[in-house]
């Protein structure tokens, strides 16, 4: 019996589809066992991978970990094991920059299996009840927020990534220089935009991540619209929740559609894995068009394969999630992947929270973020 262990994060979008795919893989390959564990969303995003490699063969991972993992020899370079056809298949058929995000210094961190980015979501019934016109511009969004119909995740990392989205939109050039994090005036302008949006919202939102927001919006009738939170297609599915959401594409700022910051996941293989061929074969099976469009999708997964996003037959089952939000996922931006970025992302959200809460000035917040940025480069 050959056994491998994997770890993902604790949600219906993450755990059940991998268990379902593993079960079928075992049935097709007698003598194989694949066991999955799960951790919190915050642990998935920020807990260093070196704490997992001794216990797990397969690690569901996000692309910003790339240089950290390779610098510390924590994962294998999967490019060495892929054929040209396998590489081309993934390169050509993963949505947007999903595959590109795992390619770092001519090495492959992970096999992409899941595609996500912050996009708008709303409750169609509440939109109708309150006679709301969906916002198309930032001014529209502020007007709707002032009426207390809007909520967004204010958890530190999410706040930072949405601020980063605005920095790119304002051409503040974040990360372009080692000496300056971003253009000061535009960085402060982006903070002010977020604060204006957040002021009518409850202070509890600073503790809420995208899962909390989706659960809140589908369980309670307090909020009708969320302008940007990492997408969870499960909450669009009538079979998953009593009050399903609709998802769409991002609004415009300064007459240009916003481009949010790419999320999604891939399967990395631990450098301590003793069954590399099996681990890679399973990962490619999970990422295949056949599996992604069937078992993985119907078990709750959010496929990375672009072919699935365009399937007509899944629209009713998924509440139109994939076709309605395709453009924003296709245009999403890759995060930095240097060694030191992930701790920076985790820390940088705190000054933004303090600024939005009125505890510190925008200048103080930016000074703290700039200091964290300089510290992150020292790694």
Consecutive sets of 10 residues in the chain, 379 residues long: mean pLDDT of each?
Answer: 96 98 98 96 84 93 97 97 98 98 98 98 98 98 98 98 98 96 98 98 97 98 98 97 97 97 98 97 98 98 96 95 98 98 96 98 98 94
The confidence score (pLDDT) of residue 51 equals 83
Q: What is the phi-psi region of residue 138: left when phi exceeds 0, alpha when psi lies from -120 to 50, beta otherwise?
A: alpha
Q: How confident is the model at residue 49, as a pLDDT? A: 87
pLDDT of residue 47: 82
The answer for residues whose C-beta is within 8 angstroms of residue 52's C-beta and 6 or more apart is 7, 59, 270
Question: pTM for this structure?
Answer: 0.96
| Tokens matching residue 368 | 């703290």
Task: Say what the pLDDT of residue 145 is.
Answer: 98
Give the pLDDT score at 46.
81
Helix axes 362-377, 184-198, angle to 10 degrees: 120
Looking at residue 13, its pLDDT comes to 97
Structure-block tokens of residue 126: 């509440």
Structure confidence at residue 86 (pLDDT): 98
Task: Please tell me the predicted confidence (pLDDT) of residue 44.
Answer: 87
Residue 378, number of CB atoms within 10 A of its CB: 7
């Amino acid at each position: 019996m050959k056994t491998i262990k994997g770890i993902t994060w604790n949600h219906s979008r993450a755990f059940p589809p991998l268990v379902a795919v593993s079960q079928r893989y075992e049935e097709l390959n007698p003598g194989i066992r694949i066991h999955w564990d799960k951790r919190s969303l915050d642990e998935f995003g920020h807990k260093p991978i070196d704490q997992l490699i001794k216990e797990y063969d397969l690690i569901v991972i996000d692309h910003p970990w790339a240089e950290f993992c390779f610098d510390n020899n924590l994962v294998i370079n999967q490019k060495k094991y892929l054929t040209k056809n396998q590489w081309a298949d993934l390169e050509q058929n993963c949505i947007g920059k999903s595959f590109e995000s795992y390619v770092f210094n001519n090495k492959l961190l992970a096999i992409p299996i899941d595609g996500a980015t912050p996009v708008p979501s709303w409750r169609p019934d509440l939109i109708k009840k309150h006679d709301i016109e969906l916002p198309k511009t930032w001014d529209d969004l502020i007007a709707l927020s002032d009426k207390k119909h809007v909520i967004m995740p204010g958890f530190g990392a999410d706040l930072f990534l949405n601020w980063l989205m605005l920095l790119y939109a304002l051409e503040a050039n974040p990360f372009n220089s080692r000496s300056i994090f971003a253009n000061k005036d535009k960085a402060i302008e982006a903070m002010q935009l977020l604060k204006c949006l957040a002021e009518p919202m409850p202070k509890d939102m600073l503790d809420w991540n995208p899962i909390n927001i989706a659960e809140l919006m589908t369980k309670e009738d307090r909020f009708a619209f969320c302008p940007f939170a990492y997408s969870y297609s499960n909450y669009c599915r009538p079979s998953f929740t009593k009050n399903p959401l609709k998802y769409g594409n991002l609004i415009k700022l300064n007459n240009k559609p916003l481009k949010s910051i790419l999320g999604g996941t891939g399967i990395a293989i631990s450098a301590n894995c003793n069954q590399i061929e099996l681990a890679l074969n399973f990962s490619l099976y999970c990422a295949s068009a056949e599996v992604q469009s069937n078992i993985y999708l119907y078990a709750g997964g959010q496929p990375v394969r672009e072919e699935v996003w365009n399937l007509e037959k899944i629209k009713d089952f998924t509440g139109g999630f994939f076709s309605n939000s395709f453009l924003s996922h296709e245009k999403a931006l890759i995060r930095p992947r240097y060694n030191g970025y992930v701790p920076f992302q985790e820390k940088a959200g705190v000054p933004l929270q303090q600024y939005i809460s009125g505890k510190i000035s925008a200048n103080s917040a930016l000074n703290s973020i700039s200091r964290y940025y300089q510290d992150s480069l020292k790694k």
